Amino acid sequence: AQKVTQAQTEISVVEKEDVTLDCVYETRDTTYYLFWYKQPPSGELVFLIRRNSFDEQNEISGRYSWNFQKSTSSFNFTITASQVVDSAVYFCALSDSGSGNTGKLIFGQGTTLQVKP
Amino acid sequence: GAVVSQHPSRVICKSGTSVKIECRSLDFQATTMFWYRQFPKQSLMLMATSNEGSKATYEQGVEKDKFLINHASLTLSTLTVTSAHPEDSSFYICSASRHSSGFYNEQFFGPGTRLTVL
């Protein structure tokens, strides 16, 4: 069965703090894709990253970094030196071959990040 | 880039009326379109998957007669909420996918439609 768990419902930090959002997934497939999306108050989903199961290299993009560990089925997201504009709901998502090659996404519950000035 | 639009962005209707939401892929032909529903402070829940020219595949628990999906072309899918009631008030998001590489189909999201049923 496919499942994505984001155990942190809400996180509150003060600006310039580093923050890590956790994501744990379950899949029986060896080939799958993991995603992170940002949903600001406007509601529109913003794509942040896609990672395939064969690429365990960590990725850094500006203040954002991602740590993919297949051994623990985790795909954690870290924001360094957080800013007020980072305040949003962040979703982790999974797509595997169980989706019938349609690209169907299974979303985690989401983590609401509040960055205070 | 790949752009997906939704219309309307916001709709308020009276209980018992039907509401149609359009989802268009503006600059690509979508192999598949998806409809999601998101209640306040909750995650996106997939309602149905639709392919052009065929019947939509609904997720368990989603009433197909309540939420009618028509996928008229490779760039247009519509979701009609029939006889809407206050409990149908939600944020409806569509996405359109196109083949990328391997088995992967890249998915692009619309901006969402906020439905309020009075």
**A3 beta partners:** A26
Classify burial at A8, counting beta carbons within 10 Å of its beta carbon; exposed 0-12, middle 13-18, buried 19 or more: middle
Query: Can you tell me the mean pLDDT for A90-111?
Result: 83
Amino acid identity, position A84: V
Q: Which residue has the higher pLDDT, A95 or A74?
A: A74
Is the pLDDT at A100 greater than 60? The verdict is no
Please name the residue of chain A whose CA is at the shortest distance from the CA of residue B32.
Answer: A102
Question: At A6, which helix (H) or strand (E)?
Answer: none
pLDDT digits (tens, 9 = 90+) for A22-71: 999 999 988 899 999 999 999 999 999 999 898 888 889 999 999 999 99
Q: What is the predicted pLDDT for the residue at B66?
A: 96
pLDDT in tens, chain B (118 residues): 789 999 999 999 999 999 999 999 999 998 789 999 999 989 999 999 998 888 899 999 999 999 999 988 889 999 999 999 999 999 999 999 887 666 567 889 999 999 999 9
Query: How confident is the model at residue A56, as a pLDDT?
Result: 85
Determine which of B35, B41, B44 to mutate to test the interface with A (most A C-beta atoms within 10 Å).
B44
pLDDT of residue B102: 60
- Spell out which residues of chain B touch residue A52, defining contact as CB-CB under 8 Å: 104
- Least-confidence region, from A53-57, A77-81, A113-117, B81-85: A53-57
Which of B32, B34, B43 is the closest to A108 by Cβ?
Answer: B43
Q: What is the pLDDT of residues A13-27, one digit of tens each?
A: 999 999 999 999 999
pLDDT at A103: 74
CA B108 to chain centre: 12
Report the pLDDT value the prediction gives residue A99, as an integer from 0 to 100.
Answer: 55
Top pLDDT among B101 and A8 is at A8
What does the DSSP assignment read for chain B? ---EEEE-SEEEE-TT--EEEEEEESSS--SEEEEEEE-TTS-EEEEEEE-TTSPPEEPTT--TTTEEEEEEETTEEEEEE-S--GGG-EEEEEEEEEEEETTEEEEEE---EEEEE-
Query: What is the pLDDT at residue A101?
Result: 58
**Quick one: residue B61, left, alpha or beta (phi over 0 = left, psi -120 to 50 = alpha)?**
left
Q: What SS3 class is residue A29?
A: coil
Bridge partner list, B114: B10, B91
**B25 contact residues in A (CB cutoff 8 A):** none
